[in-house]
Amino acid sequence: MNAIQPNPAAIQDVIIVGAGISGISAACHLHKDCPDQRYTILEARQSIGGTWDLFRYPGIRSDSDMHTFGFSFKPWTNAKAISDGPSILAYLQEAVAEYEVEKHIRFGVRVTSAAWSSESSTWTVTTLSERGEVGQVVGRMLYMCSGYYNYEKGYTPDIPGLEDFSGTVVHPQHWPQDLDYSNKRVAVIGSGATAVTLVPSMADTAAHVTMIQRSPGYIVSLPAKDKFANLMRVLLPKRWAYAITRWRNIHFQNYIYKRAIKNPQKMRDYLMKRLRKALRSDIDIDKHFTPSYDPWTQRLCLVPDSDLFNALNSGKASVVTGQIEAIKEDAVQMKDGSSVACDILVTATGLNVQVMGGVEFFLDGERIDFSKHFMYHGLMFSGIPNLVLTFGYTNASWTLRADLNARFVCGLLKEMARRGAEQAVPLLREWEQDMPDRDWLTDFNPGYFQRAMHLMPRQGDHAPWHNTQDYLLDRKLLRNGPQDDGVLRFRGSRESGSDGSGSTTTVTTSSGHPSGHTAS
C-alpha cells in the first residue's frame, strides 16, 4: 500500500525545533542567506529565549564573554562582556525583531516524535499543544535546536532526609519569584556555574550563604567589562569593533584551552596562584579550591570581578567541602560530623541531559537509537537523511557552534538545490563499517554528561566522524557548507530515483550502516 504523499504546498523547507539561542541563530541565518526557504520554529514554551527565559534565579548571567556568546551577525554593544540574563534575553528579542523571526514561531507546541519517509523525502513532526491537541508539521529538513537538558525537571540526587527539611527547598531551574531570603541562612548544594553565581548574588541580602560542595572545581575571575572591546567601540564602527573583539577573544580562548590540555600542571599552577592572591590567607584553598582533575576535563567556572571571592573574603559567604550524610530539619549534616544550619536549601545539583530534546525518532518506520549512529562533523548522523543537531562547545561559547551550524545548513540547502537533490545523508564508507567508536565527548567528564553518555551518538577514530570541540578547525571545514568528502551523499528527486549522478540510491539501516549499493 502506497503512503499518502503530503501536500507540497504545506511542506516546510526547514523545521526548527526550539526558539532558544540556537533556534534564533538558525532562523536569522535562513532569513539572511536563504530567503527563499520556508521555515517554521516549533517552541514548547510561550516565549523565546530558552535558557535565558527559563532560568530566573538571582544573578543569572553568561559564563562566557558576550563577544563570543553573541551572534556573529549582531554586535553586542553592552559595556558588560559578562552579562546578566535579562540583558541577554533583550538581545535575543532584538535579533528576533530585526530578522522577522517571530512570525515563523509556533508557541506552546511540544515535539513528541519525528518520522522520516524515504518515499516522500520528508520529516513528519508530531506535536502536542498545551491544551492536549495533537498536530503535525511536514518538512524536508529537520533542524534540532532544543538544547541538551530537560526543561521540565532539573537533576537532584538522592539526598537522605531531604523530605525532612522544614525550610524551603529550591532547585535553580524552578526558582520561585516570590522567594524571600533576606536575613535567612542559605545553603547552596553544588559547585558549578549556577552555584558560584548564586552565592555572591544572595550574600548581601541573606544572613549567610554556604556553598556545600562534594569536591572543588576550577574557578577563575575575569573583569565583567572588556576594556579592549569598549575602546574599540569608541574608535571604530560597532560592527568592526565587534568583529575584531570577537576574533581576538576566540583566538585567546582557543590558546588557553590548548595550553591547558598540553600542559595541565602548568595551567593548574597558574590558576592556583591567582586564587591565592584573590582569597584571604585563612581560607583553606587546598581543601576548598584545589580540584582532583586537570583543567578543562570539566568546565572552568567564570566569576565576574571576583564577586564570589569578595563574598567569601567579607565573611558573608563560606564554603564547606565534603560528603553530605543527611538533611536534618534545619541543617545539612556532613559525614565529618560538622553541620550547616540553614533556613533555605538550594539544590544547585545540575541538569538532566536529554538527547535530541526527548523526541522519539523513526526512520521509515524503524525507531532510531542515536547511540548506534556516528556523528558527522558533530552535526549530522550516519545513515539519517536531512537531520541536523546543534550542540555547542564545552570549551568555548555555545553560540560559536550554533552560528557555524546555521551557516553549514544554508550552504547545504543551496548545494541540494544546485544538485536537484531532496536528501543529504552521511554514510559510512565500505572500509569504515567496523570503525572503532568513542564517546561523543572525550576529555570532558562532568557528572551530568556521564549520566547520559550511553544514550549519545558515537565518534569515530578519524575525520569527518569527529566531534572536534575545536571552533577554528570546524570553521575551516563547515562555514561554506558541505565539502565533497565522499561521505555526505546527495539523492535526487523522486522522479529520477537517483543521487543526481546516475548512481543507485543507497538504502540504509536504522543503525546507520549502509546496505546495498553505495552511491559514488
pLDDT in tens, 62-78: 989 999 999 999 999 99
157-165: Cβ within 8 A, 24+ apart: 157/349, 159/189, 159/324, 159/326, 159/327, 159/347, 160/324, 160/325, 160/326, 160/327, 161/326, 161/327, 161/328, 161/333, 162/327, 162/345, 164/327, 164/328, 164/329, 165/327, 165/328, 165/329, 165/330, 165/345
Q: Please write the tens of the pLDDT for every residue from 144-191.
A: 999 988 888 888 889 999 999 999 999 999 999 999 999 999 999 999
* Distances 500 to 14, 411, 486, 492, 504 between C-alpha atoms, Å: 21, 18, 14, 5, 10
For residue 495, pLDDT over 70 is answered with: no
Percent of the chain clearing pLDDT 90 (strictly above)? 82
DSSP letter string over 210-247? EEEESS---EEEE-SB-HHHHHHHHHS-HHHHHHHHHH
Q: Give the pLDDT of residue 452.
A: 76
Indicate whether 417 pLDDT > 60. yes
Q: What's the pLDDT score for residue 510?
A: 35
- Residue 506 has a pLDDT of 38
162-229+264-347, superfamily in CATH?
FAD/NAD(P)-binding domain (3.50.50.60)
Q: Report the candidate in 503, 441, 406, 421 with the shortest Cα–Cα distance to residue 27.
A: 406
Please state, in angstroms and rounded to a whole number, the distance separating the CA atoms of residues 156 and 314.
30
- What is the Cα–Cα distance from 516 to 504, expressed in whole angstroms? 9
Q: First-to-last CA distance in the chain?
A: 31
User: What mean pLDDT comes out for the span 120-138?
Assistant: 97
DSSP at 506: P
- Asked if the model's pLDDT at residue 367 lies above 50, the reply is yes
Which residue has better confidence, 246 or 4?
Answer: 246
pLDDT tens, position by position, 343-353: 999 999 988 88
> Is the pLDDT at 307 greater than 80, yes or no?
yes
For residue 253, pLDDT over 70 is answered with: yes
Q: What is the pLDDT of residue 365?
A: 97
**What pLDDT is recorded for position 154?**
86
**Domain 9-151+353-487 shares a fold with domain 162-229+264-347:** yes
* Helix axes of 398-419 and 21-33: crossing angle, nearest 10 degrees: 40
Tell me phi and psi for residue 468, to 5 degrees: -70, -30
Mode of pairing for the β-strands spanning 208-213 and 185-189: parallel
353-358 average pLDDT score: 90
Confidence of residue 449 (pLDDT cuts 50, 70, 90): confident
More confident residue, 171 or 501: 171
CB-based contact 484:491 (threshold 8 Å): no
Residue 456 predicted with pLDDT over 80: yes
Grid coordinates representing 258?
590548548
Q: For residues 257 and 444, what is the distance between their CA atoms, to the nearest angstrom?
A: 12
Share of the chain above pLDDT 70, in %: 92
- Of the candidates 223, 166, 175, the one whose C-alpha atom is nearest the C-alpha of residue 198 is 175
Q: What is the pLDDT of residues 2-61, one digit of tens each?
A: 444 556 668 999 999 999 999 999 999 999 999 999 999 999 999 999 999 999 999 999
- Say what the pTM is: 0.92
Q: What is the mean pLDDT of residues 224-233?
A: 96
| pLDDT recorded at residue 485 | 93
The residue extents of the domains of the chain are 9-151+353-487, 162-229+264-347
Average model confidence (pLDDT) across the chain: 91
**Confidence (pLDDT) at 352:** 86
- The grid cell for 297 is 576535563
pLDDT for res 441 = 79
Q: What is the pLDDT of residue 494?
A: 45
> How many Cβ atoms from other residues are within 10 Å of residue 503's Cβ?
15
Q: What is the CATH number of domain 9-151+353-487?
A: 3.50.50.60
Average pLDDT over residues 82-95: 97
Q: Are 200 and 317 a contacting pair, CB within 8 Å? A: yes
* Model confidence band, residue 434 (pLDDT cutoffs 50, 70, 90): very high
Q: Provide the pLDDT for residue 502.
A: 33
Determine the pLDDT at residue 504.
33
